[in-house]
Amino acid sequence: MEASVEQLVFVRDDAYTVARMSGDGQPGFVAAGRALGGVQPGETVRLLGAWEEHPRHGRRFAVTGCERVTPSTVRAIQLYLGSGLIRGIGPRLAQAIVGHFGEQSLTVIDAEPGRLREVINIGPVRQAQIVEAWREQKAVAELMVVLQGFGVSPLLAAKIYQVFGAESGEVLAKDPYQLIDRVRGIAFATADRIALRSGVPESSPQRIQAALLDRLDAAASGGGHCFLSPTALVTQTIDLIEQDEDLIRQGLDALTAERRVVREADAVYPKELHSRELRLTTELARLARARSTLTLRSYQEDESLDDDQRAAVTMALTSTLSILTGGPGCGKSHTIKALAATVRAMGGAVTLCAPTGKAAKRLSELAGLPAMTIHRVLSHEPDPDALFDETPVRADLVVVDEVSMLDLGLATRLAAALPSGTHLLLVGDSDQLPSVGPGSVLADLLAVESIPRVRLTRVFRQAEGSAIIKAAHRIRAGDLPALPGGGGFWFEELDDPEAIANRVVHLATVAIPRKQQITPAQVQVLSPMRKGTTGTAELGRRLQEVRNPAADDKPEHWSGATLFRVGDRVMPIRNNYDKGVFNGETGTLTRLVPEERQADVQIDDGDLVTYTFDELDDLTHAYAISVHRAQGSEYPFVVAPMVAESGGIMLRRRLLYTLVTRARSWVVLVGQRNALDLAVHRLGHRRNTTLTARLQAAGL
């Protein structure tokens, strides 16, 4: 039957879609199926399928085939034009166009676009905008059909078209592997499916080289590794594409000859990571050996510091490269405050910074001094044609907090920007999670014995009574916290993942706010994983429906499998120097304008930022976030599920330790006792890096 899409109800990553429809004598019905993937409100489609009685959702049309067709009735045309699909046309202008051209409206836009100026409020600029958007929409729809033919989610069509435009079809047919590097969200598996269905031989050098690069990328993005051994790389590639070992080694030789990878001893590096590791070694050695720009004078020691803290201050004043570590409640921030005051009293300049906005804000509050993100310290967008920035950062002392979050790329940019003679103090908790990006900078530097360091171990009196800090120190030692807990730490045991998810949502939105007389916004849900019943995606969806439910006065827009609604709490997941927003900041979606295909986000403690609909995959909901994304942040109350689904692959001691220490007043863990036990006793893997060995070879 033929029907119009009225509203999207649900969209999954694999393109499974549930939509409200109307047409063919059906005043309103629900249709569902993967074949609906990519449809948008306002479109007219021809559906193939059968009616079914769903045990939970009732009667609906199970779709097995879906074909887009040109709307033919006046109502369908007006719905289509007013849906926001065509940039520049909103509901009022759609009504004016249809009122003037009737059933010929789409024919006019397609074949006689100059006639659009017959409609009031359409001038040359608006006409050109409408025509361009119309052609783009048609091209994306055609691309969706092609992708469905390859067995690939049609939700990727808009992203591919955004990068390749009119050449998209040719790229899919001739060189789909270039999608991997250039289109966000497309990995080897998707490109390989397209390639094989396009006739690319399974043993082609193109495919083998793409598979080798994919394994290196997976090692970096999934495991934080800077390299793989040749044996591991070849073995993993054989597992991926099931090709002969000799062919794969030939592919590796070709990549090495083309300098797309670098082989060194028993290691294979992506070219970029190899360059960064070499550069970071050079810059750190330069900083460590430089003559200090700081004029040391006698100073009044802070009487509130203990012996270790005084030693840390002295170390930072006399060493141009040093490290301060310690767990929660051990006085790192107070030490930084005393150090900064001392340097300023000597007439020196101090810069305090951290990898994320939340971490910088927290450092500023605790130290009582201004602090910035490292990105803002570096102050401008990096040259896309250069691996490193060399913009000087003018300060006698630079203190970087939350260094466990510092990946190889950001560490290299920062070190390269510091003039020789600047004192660099790196501060962090070595028991927290390592960086999201590749590298293990803090651990690697701590392994270089010649680099001065102080570890603070005393828990100060104001922190001694905290159940959170007690639990954190037990976890760090490999012991289970006292259960069920109390006074700030609590474990509630449940077994069923569905019940756990429901309980997490209830605690975060009803129980804790009511008991503590706070708002739900003061409770942050964290999860060790993204997928599954208790992952960030599903918990975020449930929390959104409770904290920001649908309403007639709240515009919505589906971007892929994510529903954005005015009032949503969101988080940028990528740095955007043009917009001045950085990964890990949070904000509120304040405006959605379908006809302009734009959304406005008010960044907390920042500017109002506009995103086009094509840029919305730079955002994620902030209702439930991963523990990695919570690093550097602190929340009054934290609720988190503990589930050993899929073997609890993400459950590690450092993850649990990091999770627990994100809470200021209370942390409530809900879930399986065996999952908690697994997290406490399972150690993480050692990342493949050679920074330590390089620094030692450089004489440090």
pLDDT above 70: residue 417: yes
- Cα separation, 178 vs 160, in Å, equals 11
CB 694 within 8 A of CB 445: no
User: How many other CB atoms are there within 10 angstroms of residue 40's CB atom?
Assistant: 18
Residue 332 annotated as binding site:
yes
| Degrees, nearest 5: CA angle 65-71-73 | 130
Mean pLDDT of the chain: 90
Nearest alpha-carbon partner for 3 in 28, 20, 22, 25: 22
In this predicted structure, what is the pLDDT of residue 134? 87
- Cα separation, 254 vs 261, in Å, equals 9
Hey, what are 612's tokens?
């086009």
| Degrees, nearest 5: CA angle 8-13-16 | 50
Nearest alpha-carbon partner for 34 in 16, 61, 60: 16
pLDDT above 60: residue 385: no
Q: How far apart are the first and last CA of the chain?
A: 74
CB 130 within 8 A of CB 124: no
CB half-sphere exposure, 633, CA atoms < 13 A: 26
- Cα separation, 312 vs 653, in Å, equals 27
In this predicted structure, what is the pLDDT of residue 121? 82
pLDDT tens, 90-109?
888 999 999 999 989 989 99
CB 283 within 8 A of CB 414: no
- Cα separation, 578 vs 55, in Å, equals 49
Please report, as a single letter, which amino acid is at residue 263. Answer: R
In this predicted structure, what is the pLDDT of residue 646? 62
pLDDT above 60: residue 539: yes
Mean pLDDT of 364-393: 70
In this predicted structure, what is the pLDDT of residue 391? 57
Residue 25 annotated as binding site:
no
pLDDT tens, 145-165?
888 788 888 878 888 988 998
Mean pLDDT of 115-134: 88
Residue 357 annotated as binding site:
no
In this predicted structure, what is the pLDDT of residue 647? 61
pLDDT tens, 181-190?
898 888 899 9
Mean pLDDT of 526-535: 92
- Cα separation, 159 vs 154, in Å, equals 10
- Cα separation, 350 vs 394, in Å, equals 9
In this predicted structure, what is the pLDDT of residue 422? 95
In this predicted structure, what is the pLDDT of residue 376? 84
pLDDT above 80: residue 296: no
Which pLDDT band holds residue 239 (cuts at 50, 70, 90)? very high
| Degrees, nearest 5: CA angle 370-344-458 | 75
Which pLDDT band holds residue 411 (cuts at 50, 70, 90)? very high
pLDDT above 50: residue 480: yes
Mean pLDDT of 125-129: 89
Least confident of 28-42, 62-76, 218-232, 377-391: 377-391
Mean pLDDT of 615-627: 93
Alpha-helical (H) ranges within 418-531 are 441-446, 461-464, 467-476, 497-506, 512-516
Residue with tokens 């501060």: 427
Phi-psi region of 41 (alpha: psi -120 to 50; beta: other; left: phi over 0): beta
3-state SS class at 411: helix
Beta bridge partners of 390: none
**DSSP assignment letter at 292:** P
% of the chain at pLDDT higher than 90: 61
Beta bridge partners of 21: 5, 29
pLDDT above 80: residue 689: yes
List all residues 6 or more positions away from 239 whose beta carbon is below 8 Å from its beta carbon.
Answer: none
Mean pLDDT of 270-293: 96
Phi-psi region of 421 (alpha: psi -120 to 50; beta: other; left: phi over 0): left
- Cα separation, 610 vs 54, in Å, equals 41
Instruction: Please write down the HEC assignment for all residues of 603-616.
Output: ECCCCEEEEEHHHH
Nearest alpha-carbon partner for 63 in 38, 35, 83, 37: 35
List all residues 6 or more positions away from 137 whose beta carbon is below 8 Å from its beta carbon.
Answer: 85, 86
Residue 330 annotated as binding site:
yes
- Cα separation, 333 vs 322, in Å, equals 16
Mean pLDDT of 230-254: 96
In this predicted structure, what is the pLDDT of residue 463? 61
Nearest alpha-carbon partner for 503 in 514, 489, 492: 492
Mean pLDDT of 478-502: 94
pLDDT above 60: residue 172: yes
pLDDT above 90: residue 486: no
Mean pLDDT of 365-375: 87
Nearest alpha-carbon partner for 410 in 260, 262, 582, 289: 582
CB 443 within 8 A of CB 325: no
In this predicted structure, what is the pLDDT of residue 596? 85
pLDDT above 90: residue 367: no
pLDDT tens, 564-617?
999 999 999 887 878 888 777 889 999 998 888 899 999 987 789 999 988 898
pLDDT tens, 419-455?
999 999 999 999 999 998 999 999 999 999 999 999 9
Residue 358 annotated as binding site:
no
